[in-house]
């Protein structure tokens, strides 16, 4: 089975291609967006309490991303070859997680590519084109 994973921080679209058939799955990340708010109760913008809040948000985001990536792994673990692509840093973070925690799966990754945001049909077409072009 050939698997294409398009992802950003909000969702992942997974295309599985096998025996001329295809399946498509979407996984939502549930990673919270957070915006740093000034005014921490001090007269000065960005007082010392903001640093504590930022670290809490970043730590929470890290755990949410880990869970998101593990959900993706459970969907792609049967793949023979994998390509990861997407518009943001999430695709590179997923690749790093695979290398550090799923080395057998990481060996199946044939490339990590930065692409634009895509619709579901575009994701399918991109994955099909990649595997055809690379003859995988």
The enclosing domain of 51 has a CATH number of 3.30.420.60
pLDDT tens profile 11-52? 999 999 999 899 999 999 988 876 655 545 555 555 555 555
* Per-residue DSSP letter, 45: T
Mean pLDDT of 107-124: 96
Is the Cβ–Cβ distance between 111 and 86 less than 8 Å? Answer: no
Range from 4-8, 56-60, 103-107 carrying the lowest mean pLDDT = 56-60
Please tell me the predicted confidence (pLDDT) of residue 80: 97
pLDDT tens profile 53-102? 678 888 888 999 999 999 999 999 999 999 999 998 999 999 999 999 99
Query: CA-CA distances (angstroms) from residue 95 to 38, 57, 78, 119?
Result: 34, 23, 16, 22
Domain boundaries, position 115: 2-134
- What's the domain count of the chain? 1
């Amino acid at each position: 089975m050939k698997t294409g994973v398009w992802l950003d921080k909000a969702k992942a679209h997974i295309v599985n291609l096998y025996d001329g058939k295809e399946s498509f799955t979407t996984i939502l990340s549930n990673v919270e967006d957070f915006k740093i708010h000034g005014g921490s109760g001090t007269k000065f913008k960005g007082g010392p309490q903001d640093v504590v809040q930022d670290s809490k948000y970043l730590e929470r985001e890290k755990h949410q991303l880990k869970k998101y990536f593990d959900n993706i792994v459970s969907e792609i673990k049967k793949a023979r070859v994998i390509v990861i692509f997407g518009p943001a840093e999430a695709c590179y973070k997923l690749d790093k997680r695979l290398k550090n925690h799923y080395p057998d799966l990481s060996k199946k990754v044939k490339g990590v590519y930065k692409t634009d945001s895509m619709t579901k049909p575009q994701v399918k077409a991109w994955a099909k084109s990649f595997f055809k072009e690379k003859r995988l």
